Amino acid sequence: MSPDPIRNAMTIDVEDYFQVSAFAAHIPRDSWNSISCRVENNIDRILSLLDEREVKATFFTLGWIAERYPAMVRRLVAEGHELASHGWGHHRVWELDADEFREDIVRSKALLEDISGQPVLGYRAPSFSIGHQNEWALDLLGDAGYRYSSSIYPIRHDHYGVPDAPRFAYYPRNNTLLEVPITTVRLFQRNFPAGGGGYFRLWPYPVSRWFLQRLNHFEERPAIFYFHPWEIDHQQPRQKGISMKTRFRHYHNLHRMENRLRALVRDFRWDRMDRIFLEGA
């Protein structure tokens, strides 16, 4: 299959397995420093996979990770990828007040720029935790110098989602910050998740491919796809005491993820967020 001429955005949320929101009640934040990170090896594998098809991507990176692995961050930029912010310590936005959120996004942006020597224009909220109840966060992102956010998922989910949000890039709250929602397809008067993460591991690959083909061919829109480095790491330590739902969501089909990603970068055309959504803006 030849690539579609529409460029889609490939994005990676750079965090380690023990930092996911679903484990927050089981892995105390103050224990993170004592846990062996696996992110460097997983990023190595991701970069090799992307390089096979000369794909450039956007890496939404935690400040906590960047502070500990600055050489990895510099490598991402040196290889032509976009560096963007995922906040500092994976606090969901609704856990922070305005002052705490401002400190989080300013601190992470400054560190990433200091390490990379490049401007950081993009931000993605941990667990897509910006919604109607805290839209003020978008104003603060603009004030802090971010040009775009990719923090809203227009689906219905038990932990996140704004099902009535626009499906495509828009300017919320009459400000200069562009919001680029994660990709959905509209079927049966409902938005279906089509932008990656656990859903990409849940759906059979032909379903995900059909979703993106529909978006590119019929709606003539670029997709925004995301995944995490830990999703290609099926040998990561298994957590005890978590619910069956959490266990399924986190571990399902990890062993298939890398091959599915390889098919994905073969079947579609990919690029960085900034090149797709900010050039000419």
C-alpha 106/C-alpha 137 separation (Å) is 12
CB-based burial label for 102 (10 Å; 0-12, 13-18, 19+):
middle
| Separation of first and last alpha carbons in the chain | 31
Look up the pTM and report it: 0.95
pLDDT in tens, 214-262: 999 999 999 999 999 999 999 999 999 999 999 998 999 999 999 999 9
C-alpha 61/C-alpha 217 separation (Å) is 31
pLDDT in tens, 44-60: 999 999 999 999 999 99
C-alpha 122/C-alpha 11 separation (Å) is 11
Strand, helix or coil for residue 8 = strand
Structural domains in the chain plus CATH codes: 7-277 (3.20.20.370)
Angle at 41 (CA atoms; ends 117, 181), nearest 5 degrees: 60
